[in-house]
Structure 1
Amino acid sequence: MDALIVGRVIAGAGGAGIYLGALNIFTAVCNPKEQSIYLALMGTVFGTATVLGPVIGGAFASSSATWRWGFYINLVIAGVFSPIYATSLPSLDPQRDVSIVDKFKQIDWLRCLLNAAIYAAWVIALTFGGAQWVWGDGKTISMFVVSGVRVFVFALQQYFACMTTPRQRIFPVDFRKIRSLLLLWLCICCSSAAQFISIYYIPLYFQFTTEDSALHSAVRLLPFICTWFVSVIIAGVARPKVGYYIPFVLTSGILITIGGALMFRIKSTTSTSSIYGYIGPLKVAMNSSWGPAMIQDVIGFMNTVQLGSVVHALAISGTIFQNLAFRNFKNSLGQMGFTDAQLHQTVSGLKSDVLVDETVTVKELAVDAIISDMGHVWILIIASGCTLVISSLFLKREKLNFSAK
């Protein structure tokens, strides 16, 4: 397990480098009109890979190849595409006279460390709070306090540019004075939250209600992704023609609110076709809330929330679901002799005696309780959509110049 954790940390660092590197290349070689399309496609690939990953990994795990090929496949992909990248990608070096050692020294290493430390304490508090630790336990409280202190230190470090320079700090503090950038920062947060909560909990719904395998439940997201892909292409082409970004943010907020409200109403007996219909507005809305085409100075600012909001959204939604579902289970099934460990396993989606060995009545009670509690998660999506709508009303009413070179 230790080797798996360390390996995933290294792989995550590499994946982040590939993603941010691609964004920088697009912004450097494309004009604003092209950026709108290519950056939209980049976001689509990012989200599509998030869904296809479990599908491919599940296929490997259920075959004679074993789960290890879920990791080995990356070596194959790297071997096939590395020669193409090495020979085809443009050589972009804005600091040709600076050595590699000096470039490494320019990186805001303290900010990177503080950012990781903030997420670690915050996620630990939310993950273990209520599940393994009592909310009032000293360990839970200490994690929240540590997270808050680290946020404060992070803010001071970025504001005063400690161990870095105003030009090299990752989080451009000066952008806090630009209203539209702050609002778009919030909009991306809400859009990313709605996107990944849907990607995570829709397969989970099918696993509980239809007893789908992890592979089959992930496959059910493919219609979601196909519609999402088409809507992103349309939005990417339409943005330069429309010029204004407010209509896209407003439309996205309305659709996310509608989709979240519809999903809030689902029950364990809701048909699959109805589920697909309910998530329709969410499919169309996910990537239409992006504002102006990014420039290199904005990438770090926006990606702080684009990637970070995924962590926050899944941690908060997971805490809500786990705690409410366990409490509901405790009240309705606790008298039947189930242990807390068995109830936690059921809520986590693991193989559990509650869903495997018990009577149909117990299974129905358990599934109904789970789906009822899952409805509270969709409130976060409704709140995200409403925030997008409200934010769009205060964005600067400007028409972007996509013809600039």
Structure 2
Amino acid sequence: MTYNVFTRDELKEIIDYKKKATACLGSKRRMNKNRHISAITPIPRFKYGYKCDLVFRQYDNGHNTSLEFGGREAKLIIEGGFGSKFLQEGFLNLSFIQKDMLDVLLEKVGYDDLFFFLRTVGFIHSGLSCTMVELDRPTSYISRVSRGNKIKISNSVLNFGSTVLPATLSSWICCEIIKEILDIILSDKEENPNDTSWEGFFLGVLSFRKALTCDDSHDHPFETREDYIIIHGYQILTEKPYDDKGTMMKNLIKSQQEEISSIVGYFKFKRQADVTLSARDRLWMKSYANNVPHGCIAIINSDPNLFDDKSTHTYKFAFWDMTDPVNTLPIQIINMSDDTSSFKSFMSNAPYKLPLSSRYILHTCFHIPSAETMIEQYDAMYTQAMSSLKEATNKVIDKERELQYLKDKLKSHKER
């Protein structure tokens, strides 16, 4: 067994050691950002910011501003969940410090879509109990504080081992969170594997069906029309086709998708708390609808677990028409590899005609999809569905053969 031995001076070079409560650099920066020299009035006093008992800070030699990822407030004597000092420092001071730290991290990544992944962590210690606290930003203007269950270490020797393990686990989780955040900040955005925020186009065709319907308000059957947006593919974009104000940039669309007529919508896949439209999304929808007369927008998020298999993750999504940001669209998902008979339910029984108000817009910006193009897309979609069905059928046949082989082998062993 080997040991690493350090002198007192060597430890000072490795660990940012503070004997007393240390101030948060993020709070110090926020409180002094408007501090300047005045010609008449004296210069304001320098503010040190909020202090806490421990700060999770990136080690630096003093030449750059260190990044901070969280902190801790600790009390030797337990106050329960109602003590004045416990409530003041644990529920107010620590949250303020974490918010200031998160603001610095967001500025570090340029306030882009990575803010869904960034968060700060902290602990509230009171006696032998501790509570883990996380602060993240589910939307651009709201900070959310999440507190875990209280973990209490037993003062009895018999129960010490079983109660100290959850506390050790929470510390390990805190270290993993800080490591993940540090990797996101220091890695290049284009090469960062943790960045799962994607945007792109939905590819597909437009269709509708006409049918006769009866209800209680009419004496005779009347004709109804059902419009469909059939999505059979997607394209992830390298550049967003809109600016900061949500205005469409046509040159970026044409440079990334040559077959403009196959675009039927837009999607955003990101990790966020709620599947809702932001203010920029609504501006983008308005600009899209002014240039393209049809389309939908989808917000998709994921809740990954500890397993690498993405099929076990939880996904949420919602669709809106580009002209209606209030009401969501009904979605029907068909697995063509199981049953291709559902394909005919999407086939149009009438030729698709665009309204007159939309034709001028399409001529100036996009190409009108021809009937031949739509038929080719339907044929390609049907061919892909049949190929998937054939592949799935062959897998079932192979499994049945393997099962029959095992049954015969088991039967021969029993006869012996």
Which is bigger in relative contact order (C-alpha 8 A, separation at least 6)? 1
Same fold, TM exceeding 0.5?
A: no
Of Structure 1 and Structure 2, the greater strand share is in 2
Of Structure 1 and Structure 2, the greater helix share is in 1
TM-score normalised according to structure 1 size:
0.18
Bigger-Rg structure (1/2): 2
